[in-house]
Amino acid sequence: MREIFLKAGLDEEQAILISSHLVKANLRGVDSHGVSRVGIYTKRLEQGLVNKEFKPVHLKETPVSLLIDAGNCSGIPVAHYGMNAAVKKAKTVGIGVVGIQNSNHCGMLADYTRIAVDEDCIAISTTNAPSTMPPWGAKERFFGTNPISYGIPAGKEENIIFDMATSKVAKGKIILAEKRNQQIPLGWALSSDGAPTVDPAEALKGVVLPVGEHKGYGIAFLVECLSSLFTGAAYGPYIGDLYTNFNDKQNVGQFFLVMRADLFQEIELFKQRVDQMIQEIRRLPLMEGVEKIYLPGEIERDNELERREKGIPLGRETVEELVTLAKRYKVQESLIDQLV
Ligand SMILES: NC(=O)c1ccc[n+]([C@@H]2O[C@H](COP(=O)([O-])OP(=O)(O)OC[C@H]3O[C@@H](n4cnc5c(N)ncnc54)[C@H](O)[C@@H]3O)[C@@H](O)[C@H]2O)c1
Q: Which overall architecture, per CATH, does domain 50-167+210-296 show?
A: 2-Layer Sandwich (3.30)
162 lines ligand 1 (CB under 6 A): yes
Of the CATH numbers 1.10.1530.10, 1.20.1440.230, 3.30.300.30, 2.40.50.100, which one belongs to the domain with range 1-48+297-340?
A: 1.10.1530.10
Of residues 316 and 236, which shows the higher confidence score? 236
Establish whether residue 107 lines the binding site of ligand 1, counting it when its CB lies within 6 angstroms of any ligand atom. yes
**Position 127 pLDDT exceeds 90:** yes
Q: How far is the CA of 257 from the centre of ligand 1 (A)?
A: 19
Q: Same CATH fold, 50-167+210-296 and 1-48+297-340?
A: no
**131 backbone φψ class: left, alpha, beta (φ>0; ψ -120 to 50):** beta
Q: What is the mean pLDDT of residues 172-189?
A: 90
Report helix angle 298-310 to 12-27, nearest 10: 110
Reply yes or no on whether the pLDDT at 186 is more than 90: yes
Q: What's the average model confidence in pLDDT over 34-40?
A: 96
pLDDT for residue 82: 98
Centre of ligand 1 from the C-alpha of residue 148, in Å: 9
When mean pLDDT is compared over 77-86, 192-201, 315-324, the highest value belongs to 77-86
Q: Output the pLDDT for position 150.
A: 99
The rounded percent of the chain whose pLDDT value lies above 90 is 92
Strands 95-103 and 121-127: unpaired
The pTM (predicted TM-score) of the whole model is 0.96
Confidence bin at 283 (pLDDT 50/70/90):
very high
Residues 90 and 45: their CA atoms lie apart, in Å, by: 33
Inform me whether the pLDDT recorded for 242 exceeds 80. Answer: yes
For residues 126-139, average pLDDT: 94
Please provide the average confidence, as pLDDT, over all residues in the chain. Answer: 96
What pLDDT sits at residue 334?
86
Task: Calculate the alpha carbon distances from 212 to 164, 218, 329 in Å.
Answer: 12, 10, 43
Gap between the Cα atoms of 235 and 87, Å rounded = 26
Report the pLDDT averaged over residues 22-34: 96
Collapsing DSSP states into helix, strand and coil, what is residue 245? coil
Residue 340 CA to residue 124 CA, distance in Å, equals: 40
What is the average pLDDT across 114-139?
A: 96
How many Cβ atoms sit within 10 Å of the Cβ of residue 108?
Answer: 26
The string of DSSP codes covering 39-52 is: HHHHHHHHTTSSBS
User: What is the predicted pLDDT for the residue at 218?
Assistant: 98
Indicate the domain borders of the chain. Answer: 1-48+297-340, 50-167+210-296, 179-208
Residue 163 CB less than 6 A away from ligand 1: yes
**Mutation choice for ligand 1 from 18, 164, 173, CB with most ligand atoms inside 8 A:** 164
pLDDT (0 to 100) of residue 173: 85
Instruction: Calculate mean pLDDT across residues 77-99.
Output: 98
Q: Which of 21, 24, 33 to mutate to test the pocket of ligand 1 (most atoms within 8 A of CB)?
A: 33
Among 164-178, 266-280, 293-307, the range scoring the smallest mean pLDDT is 164-178
User: What's the confidence (pLDDT) of residue 336?
Assistant: 84
Count CA atoms closer than 13 A to 223's CA, side-chain side. 31
Rounded Cα–Cα distance for residues 4 and 270 (Å): 44
> Looking at 56-94, which runs of residues are DSSP E strands?
57-61, 65-69
- 178 has pLDDT over 80: yes
Question: How far apart, in whole angstroms, are the C-alpha atoms of residue 203 and residue 200?
Answer: 5
The yes-or-no verdict on residue 152 having pLDDT over 90 is yes
DSSP reduced 3-state for 322: helix
CB 190 within 8 A of CB 207: yes
Burial class of 152 by CB neighbour count within 10 A (0 to 12, 13 to 18, 19+): buried
* Three-state DSSP string of 105-174: CCCCCHHHHHHHHCCCEEEEEEECCCCCECCCCCCCCCECCCCEEEEECCCCCCCEEEEECCECCCHHHH
What is the average per-residue pLDDT within 49-59?
98
Residue 340 has pLDDT above 80, yes or no: no
pLDDT digits 0-9 by tens, 249-268? 999 999 999 999 999 999 99
Number of CB atoms found within 10 A of residue 205's CB: 15
| pLDDT value, residue 179 | 85
Q: Is the CB of 76 under 6 A from ligand 1?
A: no
Contact 16, 4 (CB under 8 A): no
CA distance 151 to 163: 9
- Which of the 8 DSSP states describes residue 286? P
